[in-house]
Amino acid sequence: MFRLVTGIPGPSGFGSASTAEQVTDGIDASNITAIVTGGASGIGFETARVLALRKAHVIIAARNIEAANEAKQNILNENATARVDVLKLDLSSIKSVEAFADDFNALNLPLNILINNAGVMFCPYQLSQDGIEMQFATNHLGHFHLTNLLLDKMKQTAKSTGIEGRIVNLSSIAHHHTYEGGIKFGNLNDKNSYSDKKAYGQSKLANILHANELSRRLQEEGANITVNSVHPGLIMTNLMRHSALLMKALQFFTYIMWKNVPQGAATTCFVALNPKLKGVTGKYFVDCNEFATSKLARDKALAKGLWDFSNKLVNSAQMI
């Protein structure tokens, strides 16, 4: 907490006051291709902008193509040599996730970095078109399926280039505040027990468990790909549109704990690009430093159970 408030750097040399540009200063990513989900706005846009600034080829994956194209143009206005493409992706739809993967593969590009950034937060109870609770569907399941669909491409790229692949899941400190047992395997869609805050926490816990289990699997097969999760910090973005008044009131009383967008994208960019993290996998980062998760997030059996549960949900959605 002291470091969060003061901005004093941690062991990595960076801290809560560091920006995405600062943590990637001097890094040449010209041989990198990266996908950023939700890269049209907020910290996703800042992440895409800074990766492009470091010469990476960035694919912005977004539900709103108009906003994504505007984001691309804003990046090009600042950096005329930037390499940015836009592809449509609605993470709440399994069919859209599969269409995105097909569209990306059709570009015949390598893939070094996948940043699972997009999400929804504190939304009222609703089901996705696949019949899955919306926050779980968007924040976890869509990214789970997307990652699996792109994994072979990442393995091929890492093998042919010798460049370590990196997957970054955006989680949250909210993973501490979830339902009893962590994941509602038996009644995921139950409306009566739905809590917008706990459902969000559940999805963010799922992001960490997914990263940990995938990291374990990739290590077992010797793949040159790391998988880590991050908490970006408290940032006022469109993600909070469903609880704007509550968040503004909270921000008023806890203003010293909040970050701006460049600071909010710092941990993501650090984990995605910084050479200090070569070989580091299955970790959780806050303010560009390794941080302890909740006990549930460290539960290997829960992670394995979530993996199997997620596969079953994807298979069911494919049959609709």
Residues taking part in catalysis:
194
276 vs 178: CA distance, rounded Å:
32
Q: Which two tokens stand for residue 250?
A: 């909270």
Q: How far apart are the first and last CA of the chain?
A: 47
Question: Do residues 185 and 305 make contact, with C-beta atoms less than 8 angstroms apart?
Answer: yes
Determine the residue type at 209: L
Q: How many CB atoms lie within 10 A of CB 78?
A: 11
Q: Which of 44, 49, 284, 305 is nearest to 181 (CA)?
A: 305
Residue 311, classed as helix, strand or coil, is: helix
Residue 167, classed as helix, strand or coil, is: strand
Question: Do residues 184 and 190 make contact, with C-beta atoms less than 8 angstroms apart?
Answer: yes
C-alpha 107: how far from chain center? 23
User: How many alpha carbons lie under 13 Å from residue 210 in its C-beta half-sphere?
Assistant: 30
Q: Which of 45, 227, 69 is nearest to 118 (CA)?
A: 45
The neighbouring-strand residues paired with 83 are 57
Which residues, at least 6 apart from 246, have a Cβ–Cβ distance to it below 8 Å? none
| Radius of gyration (C-alpha) of the chain in whole angstroms | 18
Determine the residue type at 99: A
